Amino acid sequence: DAFHNNLQSYAISGIAGFGLATNIPQFRFANNWQYADAVTVVRGKHSFKFGGDFLRQLARQHPPFNERGSLTYGSSTGATAFGNFIDDFGGSSGSLNRLFGNSVYYPNLFRQSYFFQDSWKVTTDLTLNLGLRYENYGTPANIFTIAAFTNYDPVNFATPHKVDPDNNNFAPTVGFAWSPSNGLFGEHKTVIRGGFQTTYDSQFNNLLSNIAGSTPNAIGGTITSSVTTAATRGTPNFSGLFPSIQPTPLTKATAQSNLFPKKLVNPYTDRWSLGVQRELPAGLILDVSYVGSISKKQYRTIDVNPVVNAATGDRLHPELQITAPTSAANIAIRQGEGIRTIRASSANGNYNGLQTEVRRNFSSTPLGNFLLSANYTYGHSLDEISDVFNQLSNASSFQSVSEVLGVSPRIDYADSDFDFRHSSVISWVWDLRGPKTGVLGQILGGWTLAGIERFESGFPYTVHNGTDRNKDGQAAPDRPDIGNLSAPLNTRAVISSTCATGYANPDAGNACVAASAVHFIEATGLPTGNTVRRNSVHGKGLDRLDLNIRKTFPITERFKLQYAVEMLNAMNTVNLTSVPNRTVNGSSAGTFLDVTQLNSVGRSMRMSLKLAW
């Protein structure tokens, strides 16, 4: 109904709020008109293929957009936040918020790609594949008035800015397959394969949604509750002021977030591989491959106007700020002025891996039909940032501003968030041989056992400092220093002005402790060679066995009754899927890097009975 569809979000300090969340509704509709065609021409030993793919997408999307608004009630002297809500006083920290702009946008695009390839049968044993692909993804971001970063111009900060198209996405492909017919690797029981390929990636939708829901393309409006001598509980009739919220006019100090640089390009990856597949006795097949890749121009977020003077709140371009640094409150406000963050395509990463597999296709044995696949991969993935939204490890403040302060963008080059160094999977299916008829057939026949055993290294994560060590206005990304590498991993110390050592142990009642007695110490100042690296701690690995036991009871020639038991994590091993508290100054006593505080997905079982005919 209309009332509930337009109900604002209410937040009341200390208790659960109510109303519709500020990030709904969301929807994404797309009508796709696509034409693709390919032509193959065979000439002698060459098989030529060429074609194209054209996509016209007409889209209508609603991003997270606080169009209905939100009301926040705070406490005040002599009154709780709930009491202020009941009496409609704003309290000392109350606010009314609403976002103005176009809550629905239309990121239409025209995507085109063309390809040409030649499969060349050089000899009966050797085949070469040569190809070239061109892709153009269009510029759907230009649906916005301000899609591109407006630079540091304090005058033309709200004029239209568009993103340039990326028109040079050429992607070559080279590959070969050689199966010798004689010699040591002969009789076509060996195949040696290798290749190189470049692939491009398109912009994903979330980046556009972020532009649609943030300044300068959307403008917020706020009314703040004020506590005065005459209004000790804050602004009265607070909710009645909601209709009077007006959008805050854009100024040079208004934040610009999530915009693209004018010359945003598509990320691309160069991949290469070399592998050998060999048929072995007993129906086994061995496959060994080396796989490598380098990814360039990946998306990252860059603060291009960072705080450079914490004492005054000055940013790199103070001409974009308005408030004078006359008090601590003004400095805090000043640090929020002139923010310029962009989504740049400038991050890099690489992967190198050894992949091995031994498999046996479903075949008959004296004990029944058996299928087996066992593989092991050693892989190492490194990058400067693993995700533009930093899901597991926040980018350091230096990493996010490196391109404007002269620090190498590779300062955070380390293990990727998804660097699972070792991974092994063993799977099998065994149809047990048994009687097919009679009483023994009902008891001993029709059994099938299947299982998947998976082993995997733990994923890496980053330990956080908890305080703004380099005074750039950002505390979340900063990392601590190493006290003593030989100390237990879950030991830490925070800065203390009352201890002669300068540090206290929050896990021992804030007792004074020397830096050399703990692994991590809270740090101040610029990072040094002793600062903790990104993703330097690895979690517990994975060990999981899934089993399936199935019994088929023949009833007639046509009807069968099937009974099955499935066990996930059959051995009930502890497998963690999250990271523990990892903030040196911020984790509660006794919880820092304590994996026993985490939940594990235990064993689960289910049974089924099915009649098949």
pLDDT over 60 (residue 486): yes
Q: Does residue 399 have a pLDDT over 80?
A: no
Neighbours of 69 (CB within 10 A): 19
Residue 228 has pLDDT above 60, yes or no: yes
Classify residue 358: in a domain, yes or no.
Answer: no
What b/e string do you get for 212-228 counting C-beta neighbours within 10 Å, with b at 16 or more?
A: bbbbbbbbbeebebebe
Residue 351's pLDDT is 98
User: Which among 174, 156, 65 is positioned nearest to 118, based on CA atoms?
Assistant: 174
Q: What is the pLDDT of residue 517?
A: 97
Distance CA 304, CA 152 (A): 9
* Average of per-residue pLDDT across 599-611: 91
Q: CB-based contacts of 168: which residues, under 8 Å, 6+ apart?
A: none
Residue 189 · residue 279 · CB < 8 Å? yes
Going by C-alpha positions, the residue among 210, 211, 305 that lies closest to residue 253 is 305
Has residue 391 got a pLDDT over 60?
A: no
Residue 444 burial (CB count, 10 A): 14
Q: Is residue 443, in this structure, part of any structural domain at all?
A: yes
| Residue 568 neighbours by CB distance under 10 Å | 16
The contacts of residue 208 (CB under 8 Å, 6+ apart) are 61, 63, 105, 107, 140, 141
Between 441 and 341, residue with greater pLDDT: 341
pLDDT at 395 over 60: no
| Domain boundary, last residue among 266, 290, 316 | 266
* Helices within 11-151 (DSSP H only): 81-87
Mean per-residue pLDDT for 470-480?
Answer: 82
Instruction: Give the model confidence (pLDDT) of 281-328 as tens digits.
Output: 888 999 999 999 999 999 988 888 888 888 899 998 999 999 999 998
Q: What is the spatial distance between Cα 63 and Cα 84, in angstroms, rounded to a whole number?
A: 32
What pTM does this model have?
Answer: 0.87
Which residues are 228's β-sheet partners? none
What local confidence, expressed as pLDDT, does residue 154 receive? Answer: 87
Dig out the tokens for 29 from the structure. 């509709």
Question: pLDDT of 50-103, one tens digit each?
Answer: 999 999 999 999 999 999 999 999 999 999 999 999 999 999 989 999 999 999
pLDDT score at 402: 58
Tokens of 471: 């005074």
Q: Which of 17-21, 180-184, 394-398 has the highest mean pLDDT?
A: 17-21
Q: Is 241 domain-assigned?
A: yes
Q: What is the mean pLDDT of the chain?
A: 91
Determine the pLDDT at residue 249. 92
What is the pLDDT, as a whole number, of residue 442?
76
| pLDDT tens digits along 408-439 | 777 889 999 999 999 999 999 999 888 777 77
pLDDT over 60 at 552, yes or no: yes
Point out the domain boundary residue: 218, 246, 266: 266
Q: Given this model, what pLDDT does residue 475 score?
A: 78
Q: What pLDDT band is residue 440 in, cutting at 50, 70 and 90?
A: confident
- Residue at 412 is within a domain: no
Query: What confidence tier does 201 reach under pLDDT thresholds 50, 70, 90?
Result: very high
- What DSSP element (H or E) covers 44? none
Q: What is the pLDDT of residue 398?
A: 52
Structural domain contains residue 447: yes
Q: Is residue 60 part of a domain?
A: yes
pLDDT at 364: 81
Asked if the peptide bond before residue 216 counts as cis, ω within 30 degrees of 0, the response is: yes
Task: Please state, for a pLDDT cut of 90, what percent of the chain lies above it.
Answer: 69
Q: Is residue 117 part of a domain?
A: yes
Q: What is the pLDDT of residue 527?
A: 83
Q: Would you say 104 and 65 are in contact if contact means Cβ atoms under 8 Å apart?
A: no
Q: What is the pLDDT of residues 488-541, one digit of tens each?
A: 999 999 999 999 999 999 999 999 999 999 999 999 988 888 999 989 999 889
At 36 the pLDDT is: 98
What is the structure's pLDDT at 65?
Answer: 93
Last residue of a domain, one of 213, 242, 266: 266
* DSSP H helical ranges for 476-579: none
* H-run or E-run covering 206: helix 205-212
Work out the percent of the chain whose per-residue pLDDT is above 70: 96
Residue 397 has pLDDT above 80, yes or no: no
**Which pLDDT value is given to residue 394?**
54
**Measuring CA to CA, which residue among 514, 560, 547, 328 is closest to residue 428?**
547
Where is pLDDT greater, at 387 or 9?
A: 9
Q: Please compute the mean of the pLDDT values over residues 163-182 and round it to a whole number.
A: 95
Residue 478 placed within a domain = no
Residue written as tokens 């021409």?
A: 41
Q: Which domain holds residue 107?
A: 1-177+196-266
Q: How far is CA 321 from the centre of its chain?
A: 33
Domains contained in the chain, number = 2
User: How would residue 257 be classed by pLDDT, with cut points 50, 70 and 90?
Assistant: confident
The pLDDT value given to residue 29? 95
User: 98 by DSSP, 3-state: which?
Assistant: strand
Quick one: average pLDDT of 441-468? Answer: 90
Quickly state the pLDDT bin for 403 (edges 50, 70, 90). Answer: low
